[in-house]
Chains A and B, each alone.
Chain A
Amino acid sequence: MAYDLVNVTKKMRAHIVEMLAAAGSGHPGGSLSATDIIATLYFKHMHVDPGNPLWEDRDRFVLGKGHAAPALYAALAMRGFFPEEELITLRKIGSRLQGHPCRTETPGVDMSTGSLGQGLSVANGMALAGRLDGRDYYVYCVMGDGELQEGQVWEAAMSAAHYRLDHVIAFVDHNGLQIDGPNSQVMNVEPIDEKFRAFGWNAMRIDGHDLDAIDAAIIAAKATEGKPTVIVCETVKGKGVSFMENVVDWHGVAPNAEQAKRALAELAAN
Chain B
Amino acid sequence: MNSATREAYGKALIELGNTNPQVVALDADLAGSTKSAGFGAQHPERFFDMGISEADMVGTAAGLATCGKIPFASSFAVFCTGRAFEQIRNSVCNAHLNVKIVGSHAGPSCGEDGSSHQAVEDIAIMRSLPHMTVVVPADDVEAYAATLALAEHDGPAYLRVARLASPTIHDEDYQFDLLKGDLLRDGTDVTIVACGMMVPRALDAAKQLAEEGIDAQVVNIHTIKPIDEELLVTCAQKTGKVITIEEGSIVGGLGTAVCETLSEKCPVPVRRIGMFDIFGTSGEGSALLDYYGLNAEHIIDCARELCQ
Contacts of B96 in A (CB 8 A): 103-104
Judge if A132 is at the interface, Cβ distance under 8 Å. yes
Question: Contacts A122-B66, A152-B87 given: A163-B55 contact, CB under 8 Å?
Answer: no
Contacts of B51 in A (CB 8 A): 155, 158-159, 162
Judge if B266 is at the interface, Cβ distance under 8 Å. no
Contacts of B24 in A (CB 8 A): 132
| Contact between B56 and A155, CB atoms less than 8 A apart | yes
| Contact between B55 and A125, CB atoms less than 8 A apart | no
| Contact between A159 and B91, CB atoms less than 8 A apart | no
Contacts of A159 in B (CB 8 A): 50-51, 53, 56, 60
Judge if B129 is at the interface, Cβ distance under 8 Å. no
Question: Contacts A112-B91, A163-B48 given: A130-B67 contact, CB under 8 Å?
Answer: yes
Cα(A111)–Cα(B302), bound, Å = 49
Contacts of B68 in A (CB 8 A): 56, 129
Judge if A110 is at the interface, Cβ distance under 8 Å. yes
Closest to B99 in A: A125
- Most chain B CB inside 10 Å of its own CB: which residue of A120, A133, A152: A152
Judge if A83 is at the interface, Cβ distance under 8 Å. no
Judge if B63 is at the interface, Cβ distance under 8 Å. yes
Cα(A118)–Cα(B90), bound, Å = 9
| Contact between B59 and A118, CB atoms less than 8 A apart | yes
| Contact between A125 and B50, CB atoms less than 8 A apart | no
- Most chain A CB inside 10 Å of its own CB: which residue of B50, B61, B67, B87: B67
| Contact between A152 and B59, CB atoms less than 8 A apart | yes
Instruction: Give the dominant DSSP class at B's interface.
Output: helix
Judge if B94 is at the interface, Cβ distance under 8 Å. yes
| Contact between B55 and A151, CB atoms less than 8 A apart | yes
| Contact between A155 and B66, CB atoms less than 8 A apart | no
| Contact between A129 and B90, CB atoms less than 8 A apart | no
Closest to A117 in B: B55
Q: Taking the nearest CB of chain B, how far is it from the CB of A97, in angstroms?
A: 16
Question: Contacts A112-B95, A163-B48 given: A126-B56 contact, CB under 8 Å?
Answer: no
Instruction: Give the dominant DSSP class at A's interface.
Output: helix
Contacts of B177 in A (CB 8 A): none
| Contact between B48 and A121, CB atoms less than 8 A apart | no
| Contact between A122 and B45, CB atoms less than 8 A apart | no
Judge if A50 is at the interface, Cβ distance under 8 Å. no
Judge if A22 is at the interface, Cβ distance under 8 Å. no
Judge if A52 is at the interface, Cβ distance under 8 Å. no
Judge if B46 is at the interface, Cβ distance under 8 Å. yes
Q: Taking the nearest CB of chain B, how far is it from the CB of A94, in angstroms?
A: 18
Q: Which residue of B55, B67, B94 is within 8 Å of A126 (Cβ)?
A: B67
Contacts of B46 in A (CB 8 A): 132
Q: Taking the nearest CB of chain B, how far is it from the CB of A157, in angstroms?
A: 9
**B123-143 to A contact mask, C-beta < 8 Å, 1/0:** 000000000000000000000
Closest to B93 in A: A112
Cα(A158)–Cα(B52), bound, Å = 11
Question: Contacts A115-B86, A118-B90, A159-B53 given: A125-B60 contact, CB under 8 Å?
Answer: yes
Q: Can you report 10 A-B residue pairs in the complex whose CB atoms are below 8 A from each other?
A: A60-B66, A102-B94, A103-B66, A111-B91, A115-B86, A122-B91, A123-B63, A125-B61, A125-B66, A125-B67
On B, residues with C-beta under 8 Å from A are 24, 45-46, 48, 50-51, 53, 55-56, 58-69, 71, 86-87, 90-91, 94-96
* The 5 A-B residue pairs with the shortest CB-CB distance in the complex, in nearest-first order: A125-B63, A121-B59, A129-B67, A155-B56, A155-B53
